[in-house]
């Protein structure tokens, strides 16, 4: 939860053979970080390996494989990966993530992380989630 530190994972338990497509859509638009509801839809994909668009980017000086999603309204990182990138406490976030099936995805908080891309550093706000979703 926000205001707490995350522990580093011992082992990555994500299945390697399943491909997924992530899409995040905003249901209601409000200013700031007030009670926002964002939808996350994950659809299993039967395409051959290599069809997905991923990029390896340095996040806080650690290489992270991110899925490119040009339609995403927010950036998502599972706590298992965040724990390897930072020991800083999470900031509270009122953003509510909802899957396409209507199930809530637990948002632990948010954090600004330093991402290096195209010879520049960018400070990017990322929502940290409990579930091992594909980083977007």
Per-residue pLDDT of 54-67, as tens digits, reads 889 889 989 999 88
Task: Using alpha carbons, list the distances in angstroms from residue 4 to 14, 77, 82, 133.
Answer: 24, 16, 12, 20
- Under 8 Å between Cβ of 67 and 52: yes
Q: What span, in angstroms and rounded, lies between the C-alpha atoms of 18 and 14?
A: 9
Is residue 128 helix, strand or coil? strand
Most confident of 9-13, 53-57, 130-134: 53-57
Q: Which two tokens stand for residue 2?
A: 């926000």
The predicted pLDDT at position 120 comes to 93
- Under 8 Å between Cβ of 83 and 89: no
The 8-class DSSP code of residue 60 comes to T
pLDDT digits (tens, 9 = 90+) for 83-119: 898 888 999 998 888 766 677 888 999 999 999 999 9
Dihedral over alpha carbons 115, 121, 125, 130 (to 10 degrees): 10
Predicted TM-score (pTM) of the model is: 0.63
- Under 8 Å between Cβ of 99 and 41: yes
Q: What span, in angstroms and rounded, lies between the C-alpha atoms of 87 and 85?
A: 7
Q: Where are the beta strands (DSSP E) in 29-102?
A: 37-45, 54-59, 62-67, 75-78, 96-99
């Amino acid at each position: 939860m926000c205001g707490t530190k995350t522990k580093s994972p011992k082992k990555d338990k994500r299945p390697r053979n399943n491909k997924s497509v992530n899409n995040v859509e905003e249901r209601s638009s409000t200013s700031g970080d007030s009670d926002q509801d964002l939808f996350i839809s994950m659809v299993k994909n039967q395409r051959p390996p290599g069809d997905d668009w991923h990029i390896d980017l340095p996040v806080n000086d650690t290489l992270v494989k991110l899925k490119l999603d040009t339609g995403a309204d927010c950036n998502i990182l599972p706590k298992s990966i965040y724990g390897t990138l930072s020991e800083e406490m999470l900031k509270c976030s009122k953003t509510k993530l909802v899957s396409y099936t209507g199930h809530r995805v637990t948002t632990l908080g948010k954090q600004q992380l330093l991402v290096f891309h195209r010879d520049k550093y960018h400070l990017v706000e990322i929502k940290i989630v409990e579930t091992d979703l594909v980083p977007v």
